[in-house]
């Protein structure tokens, strides 16, 4: 049994004051849901709000995550944030989001380096993979997403691999209001993503890793995803900025 995990990726939204307001609006309900370990809720605000959000969530079962980090641990890397800084204030880190790959030139090799550094500093990676529209329409999803998984997990030991969360986010579904179908996402996660993990490690590891769906998840469509056997939760962008919507999505993840 894999515990569901729902993460809110706030992206570049909310000031510190707004972050405080959003957390206060949903903290108690999320905390009740997270109690007893039935689901894991993670909030990923911009770096600058992480300490504030972490302080507000102290003593609750809600976790905090970052949206990115660098693979070096300190030094002359202007504007970057390192794993040893993050693990003082948060537990998770999103790595290789398609927006990082698309707008900031992140590569599969960089993603692999970041995962290794995150693990070495006891951060739990949420690793994003997903094909673009052209790849989807020309039947390249399996090869492309499978390749991203293999590259991300390169030289990562089995025990470490089991603690990594994967988010399957088809790029054409992110922020477009055009979500994948539950069955379609289930097939990519089951065949392609768990298939790649089974090739790299073994079937038990493939079954142990939690895989989220992401891309235009809303309270309206979420049940379709959570009903799928291969989908263990969601990475939520837009809807994570609205307290009632994010609470509803988290609630749907409790089986």
Asked if residue 212 lies in contact with residue 173, where contact means CB atoms within 8 angstroms, the answer is no
Among 85, 156, 166, 174, interactor with ligand PGA by CB under 6 A? 174
109 flagged as catalytic: no
Q: From the list 118, 196, 236, 252, which residue makes contact with ligand PGA (rule: CB under 6 A)?
A: 236
Cα–Cα separations (whole angstroms), residue 223 to 77, 112, 165, 213 = 43, 32, 20, 12
* Residue closer to ligand PGA, measured from CB, 106 or 201: 106
- For residue 206, the minimal CB distance to ligand PGA (Å) is 23
x-or-dash string of contact with ligand PGA, 134-173, rule CB under 6 A: -----------------------------------x----
3-class DSSP assignment, residue 186? helix
- DSSP H or E run through 43: strand 40-44
Q: What does the alpha-carbon distance between residue 239 and residue 220 come to, in Å, rounded to a whole number?
A: 11
The active-site residue, picked from 99, 106, 131, 169, is: 169
Letters for 30-59 (x = contact with ligand PGA by CB under 6 A, - = none) are ------------------------------
Q: Is 97 among the residues known to form the active site?
A: yes
Q: How far apart are CA 64 and CA 54, in angstroms?
A: 6
Best CA proximity match to 22, nearest among 61, 64, 59? 64
Q: Least distance (Å) from ligand PGA to the CB of residue 169?
A: 6
Indicate which residues carry an active-site annotation: 97, 169
């Amino acid at each position: 049994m894999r515990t569901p995990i729902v993460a809110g990726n706030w992206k570049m939204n909310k000031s510190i004051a707004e972050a405080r307001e959003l957390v206060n609006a949903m903290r108690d309900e999320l905390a009740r849901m997270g109690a007893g370990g039935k689901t894991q809720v993670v909030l990923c605000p911009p770096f600058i709000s992480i300490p504030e959000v972490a302080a507000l969530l102290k003593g609750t079962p809600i976790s905090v995550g970052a949206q990115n980090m660098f693979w070096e641990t300190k030094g002359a890397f202007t504007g970057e944030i390192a794993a040893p800084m993050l693990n003082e204030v948060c537990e998770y880190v999103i790595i290789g989001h398609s927006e990082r790959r698309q707008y900031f030139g992140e590569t599969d090799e960089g993603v692999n380096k970041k995962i290794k550094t995150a693990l070495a500093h006891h951060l739990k990676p949420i690793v994003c993979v997903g094909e673009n529209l052209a790849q989807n329409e020309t039947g390249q999803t399996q090869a492309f997403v499978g390749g991203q998984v293999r590259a991300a997990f390169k030289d990562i030991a089995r025990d470490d691999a089991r603690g990594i969360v994967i988010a399957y986010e088809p790029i054409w579904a992110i922020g477009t209001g055009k979500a994948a179908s539950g069955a379609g996402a289930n097939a990519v996660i089951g065949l392609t993503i768990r298939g790649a993990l089974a090739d790299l490690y073994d079937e038990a590891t493939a079954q142990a890793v939690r895989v989220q769906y992401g891309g235009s998840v809303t309270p309206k469509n979420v049940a379709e995803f959570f009903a799928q056997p291969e989908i263990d939760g969601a990475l939520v962008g837009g809807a994570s900025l609205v307290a009632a919507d994010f609470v509803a999505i988290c609630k749907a993840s409790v089986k």
